[in-house]
Amino acid sequence: MIIQNLAELDTFMPYLLASPKGEEVFYAIGSGDDFGSHPFEYLCGNQASLALPKGILSFDALLSSRNNFLNLEKFIGKAEIYSSIRLLAKKRGSYCFEFPHVTPAKRHLYACSVYSWPEKNAYVVCLRRLRILEKYLSEYSNRVRHDFTTALLNKESCLTLINAIQPQDKIMVVFIDLNNFKLVNDIYGHIMGDKILRAFADCLMKEKPSSASLCRFGGDEFIAILPDFDAERTRTYLERCNDEFCHGGNFGLPVSFSAGCCAMAPSIKAPLYLIRCADKAMYLAKKKDIPFYILNEQETLQIIEEDRKSNN
């Protein structure tokens, strides 16, 4: 029998896990109470395979609260992980967990194994990309963020984008409602209604500026978020959409749209007012029987003030 004492495996475990391609990357790290902030010391493996940002690696950086793969309220408990790792400091053992690392451009998922090295007052850290699970969760996350019928962003994604708008940002928000849509559902059925929704979404996408975000807010309501758009660029975009959506997207049905537009300004203290004011502007467009209405800043502030008074 080659292995007579299973405890001997603790010494060799990191090497047993390593792959010929070096996809498992090993580091050493001190085991003091503040080990979370200690920089990792590279030992071996293909660091490029991890696709981590260049610079100093530490647990505090890797387990940041910003690294939330699916925008869940609680994705990973750093305090619990640190508590479990600290228990290894004086004895041989290992602790394994998974964690995400999120950047504006990419989302990665990792497996981490921590092995105690009491003779050196250190840990050996093994990191490995979970590529298959990462691909699956990325696809799932993308589906969760989009509306099934139109493939546009859904309401939750829309609200996240709106809440991220800052007072100094130059952004136009457009609230759009389809006219006579309920009539189509009642007469021709919901299958035709879904075709109309997809046709309108296709019109929005066809004319979509590269920086724009398009969302289905619910029912037959849509929101377009247009960075760096002023009134003139917004007018041009909506006029093209209106021409493209003639007769309900070429279905020969009397379906059109009404849109209201509101630009962000430093005087608007809460970005959610952009939706409320654009919604009000949309009803002005319906009342005036025009495709869209663009609020100026004075009209926007007047709507906000009227809302405040009515709520009080």
User: Which segments of the chain belong to CATH 3.30.450?
Assistant: 6-141
Return the half-sphere exposure (C-beta side, CA atoms, 13 A cut-off) of residue 50.
Answer: 24
What letter does residue 153 receive in the DSSP assignment?
Answer: B
Q: What is the mean pLDDT of residues 101-127?
A: 86
User: Is residue 276's pLDDT more than 90?
Assistant: yes
Dist. CA 277–CA 69, nearest whole Å: 32
CA distance 142 to 157: 10
Q: How far apart, in whole angstroms, are the C-alpha atoms of residue 43 and residue 23?
A: 13
**pLDDT at site 120:** 86
261 touches 199 (CB < 8 A): no
Which among 95, 97, 100, 57 has a CA at the least distance from the CA of 75?
100
Strands 107-117 and 122-129, how do they pair?
A: antiparallel
Least confident of 11-15, 144-148, 215-219: 11-15
**Overall CATH class of domain 145-311:** alpha beta
Residue that has been written with the tokens 């029987």 in this structure: 289
- Average pLDDT of span 149-171: 94
pLDDT, residue 76, reads 62
- Provide the 10 A C-beta neighbour count for residue 136: 12
Residues 6+ apart with CB under 8 A from 50: 25, 108, 110, 127, 128, 129
What pTM value is reported for the model?
A: 0.67
Token pair listed for 69: 């793969």
At 181-227, the pLDDT tens digits run 999 999 999 999 999 999 999 999 998 888 899 999 999 999 999 99
Which amino acid is it at 124? V
Between CA 265 and CA 271, with CA 267 as vertex, the angle to 5 degrees is 65
Confidence of residue 248 (pLDDT cuts 50, 70, 90): low
Query: Torsion over CA of 200, 104, 98 and 50, rounded to 10 degrees?
Result: 120
Q: Which two tokens stand for residue 39?
A: 């920089």
Domain 6-141 CATH class label: alpha beta
Q: Residue 247: which pLDDT band, with cuts at 50, 70 and 90?
A: low
- pLDDT for 246 equals 78
Q: What does the pLDDT read at residue 271?
A: 95
pLDDT tens for residues 50-80?
Answer: 988 888 899 988 887 665 555 555 556 788 8
pLDDT at 133: 87
Per-residue confidence (pLDDT) for residue 217, from 0 to 100? 96
3-state helix, strand, coil in the chain (%, to 5): 45, 25, 35
As annotated, the residues of the chain forming the CATH 3.30.70.270 domain(s) are 145-311
- The mean pLDDT of 282-292, rounded to a whole number, is 95
Contact 126, 17 (CB under 8 A): yes
